[in-house]
Amino acid sequence: MARSALLGSSLAKKYWMALTGLFLCTFLIAHLAGNLQLLDMSPEGQLKFNAYAKFMTTFPLVKLVSYVLYASILFHAFDGFLLAVQNRKARPVKYAHEKAGANSTWYGRQMALLGTLVLVFLIIHMKTFWYEMHWGELGLDVDGNKDLYTLVATVFTQWWYVALYVMSMLVLAYHLLHGFQSAFQSLGLNHPRYTPVIKNVGVFFAVIVPVFFALIPVWMFINA
């Protein structure tokens, strides 16, 4: 019983994929809201950002949510891996001639590849900022907070890092373009009246969120 509730069936695997995926979507909104403060590159803006970073890494409730978040990313990736392995095994002999574009989008079929690229980006991203914030040698600002702002600003003077960031947001956009509405369908939330709305919100979300994320490094690179 416990097995079937967690990962035993194909459908259970998809419920978890959808739940963790939607949770990650809410995280994206919160993370973006925090990051947008970086657009203020004045000295006061820097101090405010560092104070915010300190709050985010020390306030108990935020810390608790962040553990749920790490678990969700790992579980989403692990579950996605299990699904992808089964999916590959389900067709041992491939078609010699296939016209998949006639009935579905490439990004809908390539969720595992897009997800893997997002994961690679997340690892690089967390090494650059999250790891350094927690265990690296960061200087202190005039308020005595760890100076994450200066680290971010320095990293974003490198054109290749900015380019990597922008490319990764494009990948994320495609993952969300399919993923957002797909999660509702996986959970059985399909309704003639609401599904078109969900689909439109999904497209909006998949475009707006990555575009704003990508805007930050580009802005900081230009104004460095």
Closest CB 157 distance from another protein, rounded Å: 40
Q: Does 25 bind ligand HEM (CB under 6 A)?
A: yes
Q: Which residue carries 């001639």 as its tokens?
A: 97
Residue 108: contacted member of another protein, ligand HEM, none (CB under 5 to 8 Å, by partner type): another protein
Alpha helical stretches, state H, the chain = 2-3, 10-35, 43-58, 60-89, 106-109, 111-125, 132-135, 148-155, 159-186, 195-222
Q: How far apart are the first and last CA of the chain?
A: 57
Selection from another protein, ligand HEM, none that 26 binds (CB < 5 to 8 A by kind) is: none
Determine which residue in the list 29, 70, 86, 167 makes contact with another protein, applying CB under 8 A: 86
When the beta carbons of 145 and 186 are compared against ligand HEM, the nearer one is 186
Segment near another protein (CB under 8 A); pick from 52-60, 70-78, 166-174, 177-185: 177-185
Q: How many CB atoms lie within 10 A of CB 126?
A: 15
d(Cα 34, Cα 59) in Å, to the nearest integer?
15
Binding segment (CB under 8 A) for another protein, from list 22-30, 33-41, 53-61, 80-88: 80-88
DSSP assignment of 63-103 equals: HHHHHHHHHHHHHHHHHHHHHHHHHHHT-SS--SS--GGGT
The residues binding ligand HEM (CB under 6 A) are: 14, 17-18, 21-22, 24-25, 28, 76-77, 80, 83-84, 111-112, 115-116, 118-119, 122, 175, 179-180, 182-183, 186
